Homo-oligomer: A and B are copies of this chain.
Amino acid sequence: MTEFELIEKYFKREQPRCRFPADMGVGDDCALMSVPPGMQLATSCDTLVSGVHFEHGASAVDVASKAMCTNLSDLAAAGALPAWASVALTLPRPSRSWVRQFSNRLFALADAVQVQIIGGDTTRGPLAVTVQIFGMVEEGMSHTRGGAKVGDRIFVTGTLGGAALALRQMKRGDSPDSECLRRLRTPIPRLGIGRAIQGLATSCIDVSDGLNQDLTHILRRSGVGATVKLDAIPLPAASKKLGMTGLDLALYGGDDYELCFTAPESAAAKIAEIPAIMGQITCIGVVEEELGLRGASARKEIANLSNRGYQHFSSTEDVQL
């Protein structure tokens, strides 16, 4: 199977329900697209490498799911409407059944969010996928990492730490929690919430490297600090049983692809009205003038965190994360 046959057979498809049909899609030197007046183009890319971002031997379906969903999550963080995707696939050898399963899943997910696959590349080499995702956002309405203000509330969507828990269970040879495994393999891009908080959120990021690191990106870029109520961080059911480990996975684990955003207290009522079907939204803290990220907890077992090997935060109420 040549690259040309592979593209013709598996990557050129009718997609009648695209939100922003391209002027020219797959099959020429370039794809051509028009951006409607008043809209900015939002774009991002993520590479997933076999053995690094997914297990060697992962199914084609899981690879396609993760590649699309992690990229869509970046659009969610920007508050953008998904429009197009370009897919660069590197395969050790062109297996028809692998490519068929990969492309079927890719197009199923793309169709579900009205995204058009506009092009890409297929090459031979160690298994890896790079998706470049394109979205559209009203001029000046995108969330960035740099807008958090002192007094803003800090919110997160869904639950944190589940993907890291599933990964940890598998690495230990344990049977992973099924809900956490599903989240590890197919993160839920919070596209609806990303749009719903437009005009309300002052900053937003997707949590891919653990809450500690990603919230710190917001704080540094915004020139502010924060205190997080550690007890308020929403954990998946399987993590709640684990005590401190569950909190640890939420703070320092990765791959959750939930949103973390800030908004003024005056927006809290409107945020509470966002339909729960889009995902749970939890207030976990407040933005402060004092730089740095602090954790606060009423729970005794967190009082001695510094003694338990947590280098980044220490005692009870106003401790350095």
Using CB atoms and an 8 Å cutoff, list the residues of chain A in contact with chain B. 23-24, 27-35, 37, 40-53, 74-75, 77-78, 80, 86, 88, 90, 118-121, 123-126, 128, 130, 132, 135, 137, 139, 142, 144-146, 204-206, 221
Contacts and interface: CB of A to CB of B under 8 A. Distances in A.
Copies of this chain, tallied across the complex: 2
8 contacts: A23-B40, A29-B206, A32-B42, A33-B43, A34-B40, A43-B119, A45-B88, A47-B90
B74 A30 contact: yes
Nearest to A77: B29
A37 B39 CA distance: 11
B137 A52 contact: no
A132 B40 CA distance: 18
Given A43-B86, A45-B86, A49-B125, 19 more contacts: A28-B146, A29-B44, A29-B77, A29-B206, A30-B42, A30-B75, A30-B78, A30-B135, A32-B40, A33-B41, A43-B118, A45-B88, A46-B88, A47-B123, A49-B123, A53-B123, A88-B130, A125-B128, A130-B130
Contact of A124 (B52, B78, B130): B52
A182 to B, nearest CB: 23
Nearest to A3: B209
A166 B51 CA distance: 35
Contact of A128 (B29, B80, B128, B146): B128
A32 B74 CA distance: 12
A135 B206 CA distance: 28
B125 A51 contact: yes
List the 4 closest A-B pairs by CB distance, nearest first: A49-B125, A29-B77, A30-B42, A30-B78
Nearest to A205: B29
A24 B145 CA distance: 11
